A and B are shown apart, each in its own frame.
Chain A
Amino acid sequence: MKYILNRLIQVFIMTFLALTVVFFIVQSMPGDPAFGLAVSIAQTRNMSLEKALEIAHNIIGYNPKEPIILKYIKFLKNIFVGNFGYSTYFKTSVNEIIGKALPWTLFVISLATAFGFFAGTTLGALSAQKRGTFIDTFIATLFSIIQAIPAFVLAVFILFIGAVRLRLLPLGGAYPVEMTPGFYPGFILALIHHALGPLIATSIPQMASWGLAMRGNCSNIIEEDFVRFAKIRGLSDSVISQKYIRKNAILPLVASLAIGIGYMLGGHTLVEVIFNYPGIGYYFGQAISARDFGLLTGLFSLIVIGVVFATFITELLYAIIDPRVKAQ
């Protein structure tokens, strides 16, 4: 209990520091969100750019002259009560955007991670246990190649083959516009159909990296004395493989699992942009190109908080499953 309390305090401090960094990085970004609007105002009304800028600032509710420290305090206060700010581009609160976008992102990355983790660790362990055979060479080479391909290149490739050439996948969206959302089979099928592209593009690289990590862990554990002693005691190969090799090899990976999900919140951006999938990453891309500082800060904060809490959950999880940590 005391351990959890200690950890929670650390989580709190960590979140605070990370949010501070996020805030100042976004603030120091070049560009003015109202600049585009100001230019068009200046042209249509034939006035000086400075004046037009002032009007534009008023329109989108952005005040560059406000002291940065005041903005910072306001930002922290808002985050603390769960208000992630206001999007000047979408003219709505960031909370609303998060509420709309987060479910899609979580839907895709949790499925992709579950599949990638399961397939990766299974194949990785198989590869390590068949060391030196054709299966091992095949899996290890394939995974290394996949890992070398950036996720967005893979995403473009899948989009091109799946949607453009074979016309099997939709070109964008989370579901067809003509359908009303609800819990009926047709809609759920359409949901999966639309998520398929991002799902494949995210889970394949995940599978490769979990697989290679698992292969490395297993190869080390196969040479441990306790595996040899299990063989000497006459244990069957399947018991040794499950209880002695895989169980020990997978523990450190479970630790990175939750952290991985946390990072995926942000890392998913390019895939969502390519598939036009309305998740967090998609809005992130919009916020960057529109210089929407409010939205940008809000989404950044969400990701930071996500990663910190994922780390926290990982530690708790690890303490539950690994007897060596539990003891402390």
Chain B
Amino acid sequence: MEVILSVNNLKAVYLVREGTIKACDGVCFDVEENTVSAIVGESASGKSTIIEAMTLTLPPNSKILEGEVIYKGKNLLNLSEHELRKIRWSEIALVPQSAQQSLNPTIKIIDHFFDTIYAHNNWKNNEIIKKAEELISLVRLDPKNILYSFPHQLSGGMKQRVLIALSLIFNPKILILDEPTSALDVLTQAHIIQLLKNLKKEFNLTLIFVTHDIAVAAELSDKIFVVYAGNIVESGPTREVLKDPKHPYTQGLVNSIMSLTSDLEKIKGIPGDPPSLLDPPSGCRFYPRCPHVMEECKREKPKNYFINENRRVACHLYK
């Protein structure tokens, strides 16, 4: 399959009073067309930073230090604001985390469609209404009702669906979702996952999504990227990675998953806490918590080692 988006050595930091938070530290990965990629990791590991840096939607107190994001042969990071605005939303759409607060509380849902479409095209009003109705039904909501409601009248799951409907206006190639299922109950989660699966088929979408929920990643994704402290430590086909994790962190993560059938005795957490990204450990950022720590882990940052054609691990064990 063809690579549609390629991220190379992306580095981004947040500037705070205490120094710089290195939340995205030399991230490399490729996304193939028409696949679903999951970026997983615990809270504050820099998952969101990666996708926000990729789409240049980071908050103002941040800075992209280096790297490139190649889409259709162009480096997104070098595009002008004008060119970027054209690509963003019409070709690459991003649904942010916090779906609950992402809609303007004082305007109706339909106005969000109007504003978004006006910003890119000059469609006629009835075309916009038709498109909005079509998309709202597509995400299994009642257009007559929803479009003329205000955001506070909708439930959390409904708002998430509205955001997804908004993101599909221009049939984007790539849809990036930040935590699409967190803050929702399990049943609604299942609906959203099913919805995303259907939409992917219907629109030939390439999906990239961020989650802290390994179960959701396993359910939805073809490829998984495991993030720890601003680095991708392991990547590969979801099934293989979860079945046979190589990196000690991924192993810990997989061991800590609870399920109805698992043996409670075998469930283990990872000892210790994630490092502060203000002052991350030298060498491998996981070494203070790693059960297989070696002398060189403390000194040298591990390179990416290929286990096979599809799988990469950043760990000195696999040299």
Chain B 31-90 interface residues, beta-carbon cutoff 8 Å to A: 55, 57, 59, 85-86, 88-90
The answer to whether B89 touches A327, judged by C-beta atoms less than 8 angstroms apart, is no
Are A248 and B104 in contact, with the CB atoms below 8 A? yes
Instruction: Determine if A233 and B119 form an interchain contact, defined as CB atoms under 8 angstroms apart.
Output: yes
Task: State in angstroms the CA–CA spacing of A230 and B102 once bound together.
Answer: 8
Q: Is the CB of A327 within 8 A of B152?
A: yes
> Which stretch, B6-14, B93-101, B246-254, B264-272, touches the partner chain A?
B93-101
Chain A residues closer than 8 Å to B283, beta-carbon distance? none
B89 touches A226 (CB 8 A): no
A244, B105: Cα distance in complex, Å:
9
Check if A226 sits within 8 Å of B105, measured CB to CB.
Answer: yes
A50 at the interface (CB under 8 A from B): no
A225-B96, A225-B98, A244-B104 known; A234 and B119 CB under 8 Å? yes
Bound: A236/B116 CA distance, A: 9
Of all chain A residues, which has the CB nearest B103?
A226
Question: Using a CB-CB cutoff of 8 Å, which residues 89-134 of chain B contact chain A?
Answer: 89-90, 94, 96, 98, 101-108, 111, 115-116, 118-120
Q: Are B106 and A248 in contact (CB under 8 A)?
A: yes
Q: CA–CA, A226 to B101, complex, Å?
A: 6
B119 to chain A: which residues have CB within 8 Å?
233-236, 239
Bound Cα distance from A228 to B106, whole angstroms: 16
Task: Determine if A231 is an interface residue (Cβ-Cβ < 8 Å).
Answer: yes
Say how far A90's CB is from chain B's closest CB, in angstroms: 49
Q: Are A228 and B88 in contact (CB under 8 A)?
A: no
Instruction: Please give, as numbers and ranges, the residues of chain A lying within 8 Å of B163 by CB-CB distance.
Output: 229
Interface residues of A in 235-251 (CB under 8 A from B): 235-236, 239, 243-244, 247-248, 251
Given contacts A233-B166, A234-B116, A323-B150, contact A225 B102 (CB under 8 A): yes
**Chain A residue at smallest Cβ distance from B86:** A234
B308 at the interface (CB under 8 A from A): no
Cα–Cα distance between A236 and B115 once the two chains are bound (Å) = 9
A96 adjacent to chain B (CB < 8 Å): no
- Which residues on B sit within 8 Å (CB–CB) of A233? 89, 115-116, 119, 166
Within the assembled complex, what's the spacing in Å between the Cα atoms of A234 and B117?
Answer: 9
Residues A251 and B106 in contact, CB atoms below 8 Å apart: yes
The digit string for A212-239, where 1 denotes a CB below 8 A from any CB of B, is 0000000000001110111111111001
Assess whether B107 is in contact with A243, with CB atoms less than 8 Å apart. Answer: yes
Closest to B94 in A: A232
Residue from B89, B96, B98, B101 within 8 A of A234 (CB atoms):
B89
With a cutoff of 8 Å between Cβ atoms, the chain B residues found around residue A65 in the complex are none
Q: Bound state CA distance, A248 and B150, in angstroms?
A: 14
User: In B232-281, which residues have CB < 8 Å from any A CB?
Assistant: none
Which of B104, B108, B152, B166 neighbours the largest number of chain A CB atoms within 10 Å of its CB? B104
Q: How far is the CB of A229 from chain B (nearest CB, A)?
A: 4
Quick check: is B153 within 8 A (CB to CB) of the other chain?
Answer: yes
Determine the distance from Cα of A224 to Cα of B111 in the docked complex, in whole angstroms: 18
Chain A hits for B153, CB < 8 A: 327
Interface residues of B in 139-170 (CB under 8 A from A): 150, 152-153, 163, 166
- Contact between chains at A322 and B166 (CB < 8 Å): no
Instruction: Assess whether B115 is in contact with A232, with CB atoms less than 8 Å apart.
Output: no
Residues of A within 8 Å of B90, CB to CB, are 234
Known contacts A233-B166, A234-B89: does B106 contact A323 (CB below 8 Å)? yes
Chain A 304-328: CB-based contact to B (< 8 A → 1; otherwise 0): 0000000000000000001110010
- Name 7 extra pairs, CB < 8 A, besides A229-B96, A324-B150: A225-B102, A232-B55, A233-B89, A234-B120, A235-B116, A243-B107, A248-B104
* 9 pairs of A and B residues whose beta carbons are closest in the complex: A225-B101, A229-B102, A323-B150, A235-B119, A225-B98, A233-B116, A234-B85, A234-B89, A234-B119
What are 25 of the A-B contact pairs (CB < 8 Å)?
A225-B98, A225-B101, A225-B102, A226-B103, A229-B102, A230-B104, A231-B57, A232-B55, A232-B57, A232-B88, A232-B96, A233-B116, A233-B119, A234-B90, A234-B120, A239-B115, A239-B119, A243-B111, A247-B107, A323-B150, A323-B152, A324-B105, A324-B152, A327-B152, A327-B153
